[in-house]
Amino acid sequence: MGRHRYDVAMKNTCRTALLIALLSVSGLAFPQSKKDAQQLLTAVCKGPTGTTLVMGKSRVMEPDGFEGGLFTYSWKVGSYTATIITQSGTAAGGSPGTEQATAVVSPEFVSFFVVYDRAVWMHSLFFSTKTVLISRHVSSTVSNAPLGGVYSATCSVAVQ
């Protein structure tokens, strides 16, 4: 079964000015620019690790990760959408995957939601620690049971 992405209408609760101030305080300085110019936040997060939980006849919780994998986030500060580019470490030379995400901003982080017909992924990028926390919630056809996971990685973050 193919993956279908569904748009999720979510309301952004913070204004761009507040976000710029928070990013500046947390060490992600914005260069001086015209008011109408939009800043682009890019974060590259390498090799997230964490735990996967498979719910079935017996629950299985095991360490998991994206060995050598990359998650790259591209977001125009203050916009409601972002692009997430994924590259599997085991598929060196393979084509990266690209997903469109819905962005929701809080004072200390921005969350990117990707919604499929059988899954939801949430990626939260924390400004002060330059860390991403990724959670996935899947109705798995492989295990015929719900599957979830929580992963984290340190990121290189730039704002232009």
Q: 63: closest CA among 76, 50, 53?
A: 50
**Quick one: pLDDT at residue 141?**
81
**Quick one: pLDDT at residue 91?**
52
Which parts of the chain register pLDDT below 50? 1-27, 29-36
Q: 130: closest CA among 54, 45, 69, 60?
A: 45
Q: How many domains in the chain?
A: 1
Note down the domain range covering 38.
16-159
In a domain, 9, yes or no: no
In a domain, 90, yes or no: yes
In a domain, 1, yes or no: no
Q: 74: closest CA among 133, 155, 20, 136?
A: 155
**Quick one: pLDDT at residue 90?**
61
**Quick one: pLDDT at residue 44?**
97
Give the max Cα distance, the chain: 58
The residues with which 65 forms a beta bridge, in sequence order, are 49
**Quick one: pLDDT at residue 2?**
43
In a domain, 100, yes or no: yes
Q: Count of residues for the chain?
A: 160
In a domain, 2, yes or no: no
In a domain, 5, yes or no: no
The three-state secondary structure class of 91 is: helix
CATH of the domain at 30: 2.40.160
In a domain, 8, yes or no: no
In a domain, 99, yes or no: yes
Cβ(134)–Cβ(118) under 8 Å? no
**Quick one: pLDDT at residue 109?**
95
Q: 52: closest CA among 155, 153, 157, 148?
A: 148
